[in-house]
Chain A
């Protein structure tokens, strides 16, 4: 009954590989996000989708491609992985209206290590 679930929890891979992280939310929210938390623990937004439409695309290399097949799912595909991509990636979701004030709920994170 996890609200926001992402898989895998850990991902260890070689430089140059392509990998995907999946995220699903069962909260009925319209908006989903991907964040990156680096080694200094700074949490920064990467992408946001509202009802399958991309609404936020921060300055992120185009090796990162989000895909939202429906509003409950937001996946992140990363091509040609680099050492600097090593981080924890968090998925989040929100209802995003005036009443809820955009309170976001986070998945448990995917710890990506690129060797």
Chain B
């Protein structure tokens, strides 16, 4: 089983739609969780950290379910500029490193 698994997509949605991405991780002792965004031919950039209580940043909501080892990202009112690859990222225990999922590609169309 991969350490971090995501549906690669692409998810094709119209502007204004709500879209959700899911991710599962294999190491139940993982400590920190993030969503990064990567635009085509650019570097990954932190979108948001994910907390057990769930957290929201504008149109973006992240949730963590430790029991199911599952992370989600919800994007409301999609914009054209949201088109990118969204990377689910986990910090396994005892290591100062991040493990990246393969990413979910989102395409928002007019």
Q: Is the beta-carbon distance between B98 and A102 smaller than 8 angstroms?
A: yes
Q: Is the beta-carbon distance between B32 and A101 smaller than 8 angstroms?
A: yes
Whether, in the assembled complex, B57 has its beta carbon less than 8 Å from a beta carbon of chain A, the answer is no
Q: Is the interface of B mostly helix, strand, loop or mixed?
A: strand
CA distance A2 to B46 in the complex (A): 16
Q: Is the beta-carbon distance between A107 and B32 smaller than 8 angstroms?
A: no
Residues of B with C-beta under 8 A to A48 = 96-97
Nearest neighbor of A44 in chain B, beta-carbon distance = B100
Interface bits B68-110 vs A (CB < 8 Å: 1, else 0) = 0000000000000000010100010001111110110000000
Q: Is the beta-carbon distance between B102 and A106 smaller than 8 angstroms?
A: no
Q: Is the interface of A mostly helix, strand, loop or mixed?
A: strand
Report, as a range, how many residues of chain A touch the other chain. Answer: 20 to 34
Q: Is the beta-carbon distance between A41 and B102 smaller than 8 angstroms?
A: yes
| 4 tightest A-B CB contacts, nearest first | A106-B43, A101-B32, A43-B100, A96-B96
B contact set with A: CB distance below 8 Å? 31-32, 34, 42-46, 49, 85, 87, 91, 95-100, 102-103
A contact set with B: CB distance below 8 Å? 31, 33, 40-45, 48, 50, 55-56, 90, 94, 96, 101-109
